């Protein structure tokens, strides 16, 4: 199972550690390079100074060296070394070389006016660096003309200088820097790991509390909702959406609970009647009067049960489904066909004769209109008129309105009109109406994307159905 926390910790740890290590590595390399360059630069300066001590005149090449001013080339502690070659022969060497068995620096040929630095052990056994350079000895200005005249066409002779010094100090500093780099890197890695883990845990804390709040919810609790102890911008939309979802599901739960109770109530009455009839027939088996009424009564009760069950099955069959809309028909003709014959005198039809044909699901439209028309005639007072009107609205849709008088309804009843098995008569005295007709009409209207609404004004209820052309 994937863990957001572990993934965040790993990703942030690796990323931050990688960046920090690269920065530290760049600093370490830069410092090492700078120290190494400064050390070599110092060797260049020392070699250049030794080169200035060599001069040439008519009598030859001479080294003007004084150990009094450069004791590092004579002393036994931290000695440094130099050696000159003239024509590949040893010309002069420092007194410090005579203190050891190996009293010469290795010869390394180099080009004129070039420098070369090598790592090599010194005569005293210490690790060191030796810089080599080939140069032409300087000529005193007083003797320049005569020396050049004596040379004639010959090239001036060159000398090779080797200067060696201990590298223990710089190696120690470089090793120390490397150790500091390693220790710092390990410390940073551990710190980053702890810091990232703590930051991620703190960042996910609202989410954990959010999950805990959800786990304690119960849809049965009418006041239950998700709450955050602290407002978090990213969680606020989730909390609002979840609370809305809880409200909708609580309504569905209450609706299903009421529907189950209503179904049980509707089925209980006819079943009780059947049981009573059966008990009477069993108690008075020879009573012909009872036998004559028993069959029709049982048939009536059975048909009522069948109607309830069929309507419930129809309601659930088309709930949350979409029906194919491929039938073409004239809505005015459909309404005329659905009008009950015994209610013609109570109906007032207002048709738009220029109404175009409708492309929809004929079965659904017929069942919707049939339920709405039957509902209008059933629940309107005797002698009152039921108005049925068809027209085109501004959006080019067919508007069907069915209006009838209904003084018993109130504005607060409108949201429940389309609820399954809801009846204004809470005692349910009717044997023919079960509160399923409008629910079936609403379900089928949603299945064909046809808005169906009800309104109440001045004691008249109006059902409006919109169909696309």
The rounded distance, in Å, linking the Cα atoms of 226 and 217 is 8
Q: Is residue 389 part of a domain?
A: yes
Of 261, 291, 317, at which residue does a domain stop?
317
pLDDT(234) > 50 = yes
Does residue 195 sit within a domain?
no
Distance CA 386, CA 462 (A): 10
Domain harbouring 246, CATH code: 1.10.287
Claim to verify: residue 291 and residue 355 sit in the same structural domain: no
Query: 302 and 332: one domain?
Result: no
For residue 322, is it within any domain? no
Q: Is the pLDDT of residue 152 over 60?
A: no
CA dist 178 and 32 (Å) reads: 9
* Per-residue pLDDT at 454 exceeds 90: no
pLDDT at residue number 291: 62
At residue 277 the predicted structure's pLDDT band, cuts being 50, 70 and 90, is confident
228 domain residue, yes or no = no
Burial (CB < 10 A; 0-12, 13-18, 19+), residue 134, is: middle
The answer to whether residues 452 and 394 belong to one domain is: yes
Domain limit, last residue, from 249, 282, 317: 317
Asked if 387 and 403 count as a contact pair (C-beta separation under 8 A), the reply is yes
Domain with 289, as residue range(s), is 236-317
Structural domain total, the chain: 3
- Does pLDDT of 425 surpass 60? no
Do 273 and 143 share a structural domain?
no
- Other Cβ atoms closer than 10 A to 229: 10
Residue 219 lies in a domain: no
The one-character DSSP state at 344 is: G
Query: Residue 303's beta-bridge partner residues?
Result: none
Please check whether residues 59 and 161 belong to one and the same domain.
yes
- Domain with residue 430: its CATH number is 3.30.565.10
Does a structural domain hold residue 32? yes
Instruction: Say if residue 352 is in the same domain as residue 258.
Output: no
For residues 162 and 243, state if they share a domain.
no
Report the C-alpha gap between 379 and 386 in whole angstroms: 10
Average of per-residue pLDDT values in the chain: 79
Whether the predicted pLDDT of 236 surpasses 60: yes
Residue 25 reports pLDDT greater than 60: yes
Residue 337 has pLDDT above 50, yes or no: yes
pLDDT over threshold 60, residue 427: no
d(CA 346, CA 349): 10
Question: Which range is least confidently modeled, 20-24, 111-115, 192-196?
Answer: 192-196
Phi, psi of 128 (to 5 degrees): -150, 180
In this structure, the answer to whether residues 422 and 384 fall within a common structural domain is: yes
Residues comprising the chain, all counted: 469
Residue 257 has pLDDT above 70, yes or no: no
Decide: residue 380, CB within 10 A, 0-12 exposed, 13-18 middle, 19+ buried: buried
- pLDDT bin (cut points 50, 70, 90) of residue 83 is very high
In a domain, 283, yes or no: yes
Q: Which of 11-15, 103-107, 222-226 has the highest mean pLDDT?
A: 103-107
Model confidence at 428, in pLDDT bands (50, 70, 90)?
Answer: very low
State whether 342 and 454 are in the same domain.
Answer: yes
| Spatial separation of the C-alpha atoms in residues 372 and 76, rounded to whole Å | 120
Do residues 159 and 284 both lie within one domain?
no
Q: Are residues 347 and 271 in the same domain?
A: no
Are 68 and 164 found together in one domain? Answer: yes
Tell me if 302 is assigned to some domain. yes
In three-state secondary structure terms, 136 is coil
Domain boundary among the residues 127, 158, 174 is at 174
């Amino acid at each position: 199972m994937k863990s957001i926390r572990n993934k965040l910790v790993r990703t942030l740890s690796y990323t931050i550690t990688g960046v920090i290590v690269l920065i530290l590595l760049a600093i370490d390399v830069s410092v090492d390079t700078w120290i190494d360059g400064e050390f070599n630069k110092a060797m260049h300066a020392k070699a250049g100074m030794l080169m200035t001590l060599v001069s040439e005149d008519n009598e030859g090449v001479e080294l003007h060296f004084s150990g009094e001013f450069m004791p590092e080339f004579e002393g036994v502690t931290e000695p440094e070394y130099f050696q000159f070659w003239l024509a590949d022969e040893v010309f002069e060497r420092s007194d410090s070389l005579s203190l050891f068995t190996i009293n010469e620096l290795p010869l390394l040929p180099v080009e004129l006016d070039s420098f070369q630095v090598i790592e090599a052990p010194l005569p005293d056994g210490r690790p060191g660096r030796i810089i080599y350079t080939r140069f032409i000895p300087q000529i005193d200005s007083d003797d320049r003309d005569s020396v050049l005249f004596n040379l004639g066409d010959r090239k001036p002779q060159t000398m090779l200088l080797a200067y060696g010094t201990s590298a223990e100090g710089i190696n120690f500093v470089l090793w120390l820097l490397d150790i500091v780099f390693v220790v710092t890197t390990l410390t940073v890695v551990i710190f980053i790991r702890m810091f990232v883990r703590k930051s991620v845990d703190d960042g996910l804390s609202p989410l954990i509390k959010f999950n805990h709040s959800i786990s304690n919810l119960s849809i049965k609790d009418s006041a239950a909702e998700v709450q955050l102890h602290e407002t978090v911008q990213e969680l606020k939309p989730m909390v609002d959406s979840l609370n809305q979802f809880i409200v909708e599901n609580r309504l569905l739960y209450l609706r299903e609970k009421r529907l189950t109770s209503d179904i049980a109530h509707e089925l209980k009455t006819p079943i009780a009647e059947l049981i009573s009839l059966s008990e009477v027939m069993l108690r008075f088996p020879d009573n012909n009067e009872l036998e004559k009424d028993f069959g029709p009564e049982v048939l009536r009760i059975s048909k009522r049960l069948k109607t309830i069950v069929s309507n419930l099955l129809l309601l659930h069959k088309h709930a949350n489904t979409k029906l194919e809309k491929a039938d073409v028909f004239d809505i005015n003709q459909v309404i005329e066909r659905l009008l009950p014959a015994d209610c013609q005198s109570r109906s007032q039809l207002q048709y738009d004769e220029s109404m175009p044909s409708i492309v929809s699901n004929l079965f659904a439209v017929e069942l919707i209109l049939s339920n709405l028309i039957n509902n209008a005639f059933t629940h309107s007072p005797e002698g009152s008129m039921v108005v049925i009107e068809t027209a085109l609205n501004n959006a080019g849709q067919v508007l069907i309105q069915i209006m009838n008088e209904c003084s018993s309804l109130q504005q607060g009843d409108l949201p429940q009109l389309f609820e399954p098995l809801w009846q204004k008569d809470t005692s349910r005295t009717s044997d023919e109406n079960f509160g399923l007709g409008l629910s079936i009409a609403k379900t089928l209207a949603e299945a064909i994307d046809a808005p169906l609404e009800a309104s109440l004004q001045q004691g008249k209820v109006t059902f409006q159905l919109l169909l696309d052309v």
